[in-house]
Structure 1
Amino acid sequence: MALFGHDEKQDLRLDSLEQHVRGLSQLVQQTQMDIASLNLTVMSIQTQLADKLSAKELDPAFETLNNEIKSARVELDRVSEAASDTWQPLQAGVSESLSRLREQVEQLKADK
């Protein structure tokens, strides 16, 4: 028996928290894979360019990506500052923003 006899409410809350933790775990794993891939790409680009070109000269798409990263960071800051009862809608917004960023990176990889 749960505290104060609210078994169903506590079970729902625990299920919601478990689902959120699973989602965060998947997001962290995907982010780690993305970072590893990006690090390899950056190392390859640095080797190839040997500081001959600036990022703006190389491809204007880097500026777009940079703006998306800034937008994602702003969204992450909002999530950090949010009250605990509003984290779900904000988390959905962050996930959407990061998903868009990931799609743009994948599109740039495919275009090159």
Structure 2
Amino acid sequence: MPWTDKIYARSPDYVSREVAGEFILVPIRRRLNEVASLYVLNETGAALWRRIDGKRSAREVIADFSEQFDVTSEQIEKDFDALVEDLLSIKAIAEASPCRND
């Protein structure tokens, strides 16, 4: 399955905050022996983060974003791919299980 067909959900282990004009992700459930880190997202990353809802595929998020902003879907797909990789690596998002109606 192409990554754009996958659905991603935010981890409950992270909260997002806007502080002094910066959009940050804050891990809230870390063990004491792990290094606590804050993750700063740029404006595009923050807008994409807000759209990750565990219901829409990456393709739908990209389409929604490109409709609202003056950017090509090819460019946003490239940016979103990089963001997804980064967020997966820190476990801020995970692939969501598709809903089944059977």
Q: Give the TM-score of the pair, scaled to structure 2.
A: 0.37
| More strand per residue | 2
Q: Which has the higher contact order (CA 8 A, sep 6+)?
A: 2
Q: Give the TM-score of the pair, scaled to structure 1.
A: 0.34
| More helix per residue | 1
Which structure is larger by alpha-carbon Rg, 1 or 2?
Answer: 1
